[in-house]
Amino acid sequence: MIRLPMVEIFETVEGEGTRAGFPTVFVRLFGCNLRCTWCDTKYSYPPAEAEFTMTIDDIVAEAGRYRSRHVCLTGGEPLLYGDKSAALIEALVATGRYDDLHIETNGAIDLTPFLERIESPIVRYIMDYKLPDSGEEERMVTANLAKLRPQDELKFVIGSERDFHAAKALLEAYPTRALPLFSPVWETMPPAKLVGLMLEHGLSGVKLNMQMHKIIWDPAARGV
């Protein structure tokens, strides 16, 4: 039986992206293949330990205890487990109880096998592109950008002006159908400064992405 290492399952409102504000069940898997400098979920990979492991059936049942019709698969990196991650996505889709299943993936996983295997219209990828300040830019799978679809989102977490210019250059170099989101790093990029840069550079197709959960609750709170 397939078991996955887990951090937590909880219900809150989605804090980010185009579905921000909808009641959403979060399924947070343990483990990540990156170590971003500004990571806000360091409890989701070693040296922290997985809280527990769960079977796919258990995860589906636990998520199903809540009434949200949106589900977010996150981590860590929820696609780290290949076929097992795909089987979890398929099992959540098969319940028929969700209108939206979005997957927060870190840009260092080739999405091709997932896009080819999973055909459900409710499944959407929110791909982070890690910029220079993260320390992980060289790990990005740039081939993913051309494969993302209009329902997917391409999120840039922007910590500095250097990051802003890198994101702008990347969008010019790698056309994508996904919606580009610019998200300010909570500690180092004042949102007003990021908006100013977006307007100054005429980035009319880019959407500002604020992390609502860090405004509503303590930025360090877990499970919200």
List for the chain the helix, strand, coil content (%; round to 5). Answer: 30, 25, 45
Rule CB under 6 A: which of 22-81 touch ligand SF4?
Answer: 32, 34-36, 39, 41, 44, 75-77
Burial of 138 (0-12, 13-18, 19+ CB in 10 A): exposed
Rule CB under 6 A: which of 195-224 touch ligand 2KA?
Answer: 213, 224
Q: Closest CB to ligand 2KA among 172 and 187? A: 187
**40 assigned ligand-binding residue:** yes
Q: How far is the CB of 209 from ligand 2KA (least distance, A)?
A: 10
Are 126 and 17 contacting, i.e. CB atoms less than 8 angstroms apart?
yes
Are 28 and 9 contacting, i.e. CB atoms less than 8 angstroms apart?
yes
If binding is defined by CB under 6 A, does position 17 make contact with ligand SF4?
no
Three-state SS for 39? Answer: coil
Q: How far is the CB of 7 from ligand SF4 (least distance, A)?
A: 10
The torsion region of residue 124 among left (phi > 0), alpha (psi -120 to 50) and beta comes to beta
CB under 8 Å to 43, separation ≥6 — which residues?
Answer: 7, 222
Cα–Cα distances in angstroms (integers) from residue 58 to residues 25, 63, 79, 192, in the given order: 14, 9, 18, 43
If binding is defined by CB under 6 A, does position 78 make contact with ligand 2KA?
no
User: Of these partners, ligand 2KA, ligand SF4, none, which one is at the site of residue 12 (CB under 5 to 8 Å by kind)?
Assistant: ligand 2KA
Q: Which amino acids are annotated as binding site, given as ranges?
A: 13-15, 28, 32, 36, 38-41, 74, 76
Residues that bind ligand 2KA (CB under 6 A): 12-16, 26, 41, 72, 74, 104, 213, 224
The residues binding ligand SF4 (CB under 6 A) are 32, 34-36, 39, 41, 44, 75-77, 106
**Annotation: binding site for substrate:** 13-15, 28, 74
